[in-house]
Structure 1
């Protein structure tokens, strides 16, 4: 998403208000900062602007202001997107005004912008607001024809502005929602005033440089009219408070300024025309005009700019000649001898006085002219000195810049040499460090292995110590238990002595015996415990000996020295870590190289895939060229088609084109992740539909009874084919690889799509004139069902009729052999009618599926929305019913000897042609890969098979009934063979002429038959 996407989105919001100035300014500033406007156009086309009238109108206002105030590159980019601007004006057709009343405004705004862009395309020196400099006006009028044409173009553009502003004022109401429409007047004010000023300047320049004022009178009259209209326009703008608050409305005088005189109107900021006026330091004495007027303003500027001394050289001889004429002796006065001297002398004195005064006045005038020339010469000399000083300054700056550049280059070369030396030094250091690192690494690994062994031994010693501590604890517990047993033994002994003393005579007492036994058991336990404790003591001593040995061994190793050595090695490892990082960086570089190679391989595979797609496109182009050639050939049409069927196929072609464009752009964006198989399938689908469109053209052209209309249809069909060929040539990947950015490639594909769709739309408009206008009722769904059901019922009734004929062969007035032949023909016809019935039922199911799916509320709404397609469907259903009825009647007539075999073949071919149109009309709207589509295609295939079987059966019967030629040509002489051959050639030629005449007659019959059917419908 670009940085100005939000600004474009907010400037073209859905609210019916003026675009905010800050959003428009962001777009303008972006164009000046980046000197580019492609991002603006991409963001504008990405937004759903064309879905809403207000958004479309605000987008046009935004484009207009960007063309005026943006970078000059905006004008060139707008010319590249002129097709998209044109499409905005076609949203609501040629008559629709839209829901919110912006339809006509959009169309007129687009017309004005297209005229403006075409003007800038012809005159690239003009900017967006027609601001001017003197030299532009002079360059434009240096050639009177070019100046005259430029003024006419500017006035035409001014008239377009006037027409559009009148339309805006007519659509403005009193509510606040008119703010959006009023905001469109702001750029119109700026542009109209800029054109007005420029035209005024150029007209004055033309008047100054032209000798023929009569040729400029039409321009002057038109200029006066435009001034009057602009005066009214600005007065209307001043009356709108909102508009006058956001922009300064220009104020013009009621009468137009004089264009035949210099600019003295202070209300216009026009470039003044340079006149030959004296310097302000000269006396205020009135000055006469220059003795040598210039031929044109441009010549005056050129002579003044390139040869200032030329004027002086031209003027000084004139001054001298004037002085000479002043002091020339006057002619002698002829005095009549009869007059007295007193009467003539006063007259002579008065004449001399007059001559003296005139000479003095002339001398004063010439002196003032000479002084003004000297002043101008001094000013020019001063200007030349200033220019010389500026040139010297620039030369010195250029010399300093060249010196600095050479010094910088020397420093850079020296720096590069130093860097190369340092690089070689660091490379040597790296090699030595790498070698040292490998040695230290090996030693470090050895020390680590030794340290691990010591750690294992220390761990085993610690384990032994833990076991000895555990045994000591167990021994202490046993000692406590042994002390308790000793106490019990002493108590038992005391008890035993007491019993012995008390009962010396009762030793055999059972109690005493039990006590003895108990004492004996305690003794045994005591002995066992003592043996066990002795064993534990032995083990403890053994463990202590092992611990002492391990401890001595550990003490013998200098642990501190080992740790210090390990720390030193770790420091060395840290020092070498930088070299390891460098090595890893090199590995990363190698990985990048591998990735580059992998990308190159992927690009190569994409190039191969692109070559395959180009081959498929070339094949499609060749097939379409063949179809165009067939369209132009004199051979008759292969099948009969109607305009309704052609419109259905055109709609299918447009859908296939849009699918192909979408898939192709996705493939260009995805690159290696794209699916080329989908592209190939979409190409085949598209060019097959276009081939079908062109192939139907010859049949439809024959239906026209007007020569001009037929020629126009032929040109439209041929133009569609040529535009498709150009489009497929332009989207070849070999051509798209020449473009720099992906956006340019996508733009080229989209532009081609737009051109093809436009050509298809023009062909649809031409075919629509041939299509019968059916009177559609309110319930179109019922009408469609009725037509299909009528066709089904007609086929079913015909099949029943033929079955009755087969079941009652006795009613046939033919021989037994002919009965068998008739049954075979009837059986084939019944099989064909059953196939047609199945096809109609499949078509009915398809219609239910088509009308039920989608975003429409009901089937009736769907049929009304797709009115042209519905007409084609109804026409195809009527054609199937009519051709089937004709087939049944022909079969019945053939049985009754009232029709021929050839008529049955023609009827069968007519059935196939009408069913093909029905299948094509149904397939236009049905979803791809659906079950209904498969059933429909299978039913169509069965109809074709049944028709071929019937035709083959009839042809075989025709072949069996043809008389055999029993002439033996081997017995003929050479002359007879040559004569017979010539006779057969003459007969063939006659038959061919008869065939051509029959085809022409058939074409005329089809024309009037088609139009009669249209009138009946």
Structure 2
């Protein structure tokens, strides 16, 4: 590196010790690595920065440094930063120093608050962060509760069996039950997180190959690793539980496992299909069916799933930890006190820094191995303390045995001078047996001690193997081995002392037994009356002697075993010394290799320097070439910008023209519709079309709302031209409503008085022209406010004229209007019934008086008329039922007559329709009578039936106005109306069929006509046709005048009068 680059660092470190500088650099490198790993870019966390952070936990001995830097990150303001923070924390908990779990447990509340905060965000990373926080909290609680389980969950089967209990019949079932529940909870949180991650991705696209998708998927690799270990431990623990507990007790465990098994299998399948995971992790596969815990042999089929994660390759660390500071970030510059610009990148410096990182990694590995060795040594010390405790217990037992032997001796002495020596001798025999049992127990304890001693020697051998290739720890291990040897020697000496004391106790017992035998012999010689008892004592003596001989043989066997054990111990010590020697030799070879490697690296640095100089020269040339290319690209970019502006201008003009053409098309269509409606004034075929003023009012009112909507839509379109569709719909709606109003106004004028009709036609024409004017203004693109207001005034004038044509009620009493309606409906029903009876009489009479074709014709007509009368009768009944329902629902607290008076216009419609139905029935009866008698025409019958159909339709419409759309009686009335329409069609069909039959009979036979006669008939027919056309025209005019008069007279005869304007 250059002197300029090192100058500020040297000046800043002046006055500090090497340890302080090293610690300061370590904290700085850790902070930079954490900030590089946890940034706001939606990309996966870089593995090299995470590795540096993990190594830092071994150097620091925990996660204190990590949390010190992590608490200053914006995890509460940026979801991506929070997501990456949780990912890095998960990696550290798995692969970092064992104390990281203890240091991180106190931050569970912080993780819980983060989860709740981001859980309110329903989209993006919100739910993912909430589930990830819950997973990490569960992991910390799990390891806090089970301190023996490491963070990466990697254990041997022996370690896991030791945690759950080595003996199936004696292990702690309660603890195994609880740890199985904890592992299932841990697995559920993993599955919840992976499900939320996959749910947030669109699996129909290649999300795993995008930076955003990889950012979300990266933590799932850790979840796969954890889930493999958890699955294996859960299966093993459940099989052990099923071997000692009833199946019903574990039904909940089995159900939870089956549910987790299905989700975990789908998780592995989904992960294995992702291209992103192909080179990062080898996803395992689960068997097709979960294991059956009720069958113990299924455990042999269990295969542990293994997720293989390849070791990451050493990437060329172009932004190494020492130079990770981005000089464009003022905050980092300020925090580390680096006021100078960034150094020039030197490949030699990069190589040196790479070696420094390797050294740092080796240091951390040494620290980790040292920590592991300390743990093993502490375990050995615990074993030694246990053995010392056992030895102390053995000493106490030996002392107690000596005391009991002395007590037995004293009792034997007392037995020689006592006449009750026989009883005391028996008691001494019992004590001898007790001593023998204690001796056997001591023998068992010794065997156990020997086995533990052998196991301790084996553990020492394993410890020696693990301490290979560690230069700094060789002396420590030798010291620990020497200490262990001294402790073993001390234990051996104590064992010899115990053996000697036991031998002495046996000798004392032997001598005491001999003395007792002698004393017993003297007692036999001196006391004849105790001969039987002495014989028993001699037998006891023989037994004790045989037992003593057996004890001596066992002692000799133990001695031989101790000698063999001592020989094994010497062999183990020699093997250990040999392994230590080999380790020293390997360390020396490693030093030689390191020296060779340094020389090689020095040569490589020299070659790299020369390559760097060549690269700098090539860089200067490439920079000049790139500068030239940049100038050319800048020129092309300027040209593209101008082309883009021209294209956008042309597109805006085309879009404007397209909008104008669409608006013009809509206006043209609307103008044609309104023009067509206005031209119906001059159409003679439109004269028979009639309309009531009430219906005209119904068709005119929507025009006003259409005008207001059109004005609003035009204003909205002027502000936002994307609302073109709404404007076109409004134009079409306005045109149809205006044309509909005009054409119905013209139809209404046909039934009004002459002056009123002409005035109404003029108003229709004016309204239509105002509507056309609105469309014209709209087509020109200007404001239509004034045109809309003018058109609104014209339409309102049309509405006022229509209201003048509506008949007004005479001031009648409240009780008359209800009675009038009921009387009219009753009279109509009576007229229908009378007409039906009259037609039946006519049909009966016709069948008596007529025959042949005439009977067939009249019978068909009268049958159809009878069916029509029956249908009308049903219609009237349904109409009256619906009217009663309407009055009952709408009158409230008012009376029926008050309801009719309040809704006078609806009542007028009902009265008019009822009168029309009664008159139509009477007309139909008269026309049928004339036709049967041969005095009438079939056309009269057709007209009368059509009039009845129109009258019944008016009655149905008048009833529907105030009816509920969901009313059952309304649907019944509609069905009855359809029946009247069907019967009317039958009457018309019968009349036309009868007319055709009669016409065919009266048709002249033209086959016998000559040429002159045929010509004459043709001319007469032409004259007749012209006369009929003239008469038809006159009749149509007459029909119009008669209908006008009829409309006026209908009101006057019913008690109504027109309001004079």
Normalised-by-shorter TM-score class: 0.3 to 0.5
Which of these two proteins has the greater Rg computed from alpha carbons?
Answer: 2
Task: Report the TM-score, using the length of structure 2 for normalisation.
Answer: 0.42
Task: Report the TM-score, using the length of structure 1 for normalisation.
Answer: 0.43
